[in-house]
């Protein structure tokens, strides 16, 4: 499986084998660099443009430090530096950056911005987050679960929260890894209809279970992994009061975990608010949120190496 030259706007575009390859490369880099203390300048002489319309701790730190650790040069561009589609069109920006760097990671409000960049650029484009998908978060989540459980196939993941971009990426990925997905969202906050239809098709194709409900306890029942995310994303601040009311009863607590499997764990992509999950769960031994955050670095490194080189992992492929 070679991914060199590809873009990554959504894991919808990647096959089961391709996603496993990305996770394998990520696990390999983590093993060699973190545990083996090796220096692997796989991206020496290369540069990445990091376009951030929306701020982020994990996406910026993981990408910037990861690219540098691999010998490359990261360039961080905020809306103060580059106004996509405002003082220069996306088309022109894509073509200019194609001549100045080797790859672009863009964290944007609109997924259509990424699609235009990808259409006009001659270099790979990575989705650092859009309103529709957050693929680099899901790679970190599945690497974390693989490390914890030893394999992914047969696990049940329960999403309890908003039908947002992170959930959409779970829905485009879980079935391809043999993972069952149970989703609880309040009425009116369901995932995108088109994403749901594709997820149902994938579930049928790969023989996994996909459950959609508005009952958090139904979703949590018999699950290995409980997952939630912010209820109020950037740009939704004016809706906060209504959203907090609509999501009443969706906080993940030990009571939620009581109906899950005995070995249940908890994930959250961060930043976290108390109304989403209480301290008892968040800071418990069941919580994998901090290894999950660290794995943002190893998986974005694995993705960048895969899109820019023909690197072959040195460790045996983990069990997925």
Q: Which residues are catalytic?
A: 269
Please confirm whether the linkage preceding 271 is cis (ω < 30° from 0).
Answer: yes
Q: How far apart are the first and last CA of the chain?
A: 16
Closest Cα to residue 128, out of 190, 30, 61? 61
Q: Cβ(175)–Cβ(205) under 8 Å?
A: yes
Closest Cα to residue 272, out of 248, 260, 289? 289
């Amino acid at each position: 499986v070679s991914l060199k030259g590809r873009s990554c706007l959504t894991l919808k575009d990647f096959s089961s084998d391709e996603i496993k390859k990305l996770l394998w490369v990520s696990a390999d880099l983590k093993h060699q660099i973190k545990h083996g203390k090796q220096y692997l300048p796989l991206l020496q002489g290369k540069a990445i443009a990091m376009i951030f319309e929306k701020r982020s701790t994990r996406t910026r730190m993981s990408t910037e430090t990861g690219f540098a650790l691999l010998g490359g040069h990261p360039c961080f561009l905020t809306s103060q530096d580059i106004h996509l589609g405002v003082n220069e069109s996306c088309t022109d920006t894509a073509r200019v950056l194609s001549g100045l760097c080797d790859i672009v990671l863009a964290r944007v409000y609109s997924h259509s911005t990424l699609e235009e960049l990808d259409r006009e650029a001659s270099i790979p484009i990575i989705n650092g987050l859009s309103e529709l998908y957050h693929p680099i978060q899901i790679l970190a989540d599945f690497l974390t679960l693989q490390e914890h459980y030893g394999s992914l196939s047969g696990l049940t993941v329960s999403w309890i929260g908003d039908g947002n971009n992170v959930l959409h990426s779970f829905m485009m990925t879980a079935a391809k890894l043999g993972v069952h997905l149970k989703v609880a969202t309040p009425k009116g906050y369901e995932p995108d209809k088109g994403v749901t239809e594709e997820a149902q098709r994938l579930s049928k194709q790969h023989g996994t279970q996909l459950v959609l409900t508005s009952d958090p306890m139904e979703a949590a029942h018999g699950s290995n992994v409980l997952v939630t995310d912010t209820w109020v994303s950037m740009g939704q601040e004016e809706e906060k009061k209504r959203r907090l009311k609509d999501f009443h009863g969706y906080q993940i607590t030990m009571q939620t975990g009581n109906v899950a499997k005995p070995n249940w764990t908890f994930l959250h992509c961060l930043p976290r608010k108390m109304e989403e999950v209480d301290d008892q769960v968040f800071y418990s031994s069941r919580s994998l949120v901090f290894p999950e955050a660290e794995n943002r670095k190893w998986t974005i490194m694995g993705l960048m190496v895969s899109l820019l080189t023909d690197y072959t992992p040195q460790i045996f492929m983990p069990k997925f």
